Amino acid sequence: MSKIGPEDVAYVARLARLTFSDEEAKAMARNLEQILDHVESLDALDTDGVEPTAHGFELATPMRPDTPAEPFDPALAVSNAPAAQGTAFLVPKVLEEE
């Protein structure tokens, strides 16, 4: 039985860059606990020596010739930015001034 409390939700939320009110965190904890309980049914399976599957179709990493091509237009690339300057994305200041 997984025990997920609001403090676990707060920890994972911080990793995921999300915030929750106390009320929301309690509800999320209940949902996660219920879902993880179901997931724990996998523990009953013996998977020793079983290779993991990472993809729906086994393919070797495809290679391509290294030829120059037109890049994506930088003006288009910033066209959806909430804040931009020229072809740069603007964010709040990260480093403090001396």
Partner 1 sequence: MGQAEDLLAKGLAEQRAALDGGEVSPGALVDASLARIAAKANLSAVVSARADAARAEAEAAAERIASGEARSALDGIPILLKDNIVQAGEPATCASRILENFVSPYDATATERLREAGAIVVGRTNMDEFAMGSSTENTIHGEAHNPWDPSRACGGSSGGSAAAVAAGLVPVSLGSDTGGSIRQPAGFCGVVGLKPTYGRVSRWGLVAFASSLDQIGPFGRSVADCAATLEVIAGHDPRDSTSVPEDVPRWTDALDGEVGGLTIGLPEEYFVEEGVDVGVLARVREAIAAFEEAGAKTVPVSLPHTEHAIATYYVIATAEASSNLARFDGVRYGRRAERPEDLQDLYLRSRSEGFGDEVKRRILLGTYVLSAGYYDAYYGKAQRVRTLIRRDFERAFERCDLILTPTMPETAFRLGEKSDDPLSMYLSDVYTTSVNLAGLPGLSMPCGLSDGMPVGLQLIGKSLDEATILRAGDAFERLIDHHALRPPEAS
The residue ranges that bind partner 1 (CB under 8 A) are 8-9, 12-13, 15-20, 28, 31-32, 34-36, 38-39, 41-43, 45, 47, 50-57, 59, 61-62, 64, 72-73, 76-83, 89, 91-94
Select from 12, 39, 40, 36 the least CA-distant residue to 25.
Answer: 12
In whole angstroms, the minimum distance from the beta carbon of 22 to partner 1 comes to 14
Identity of the residue, 1 or 16, whose beta carbon is nearer to partner 1 in the bound complex: 16
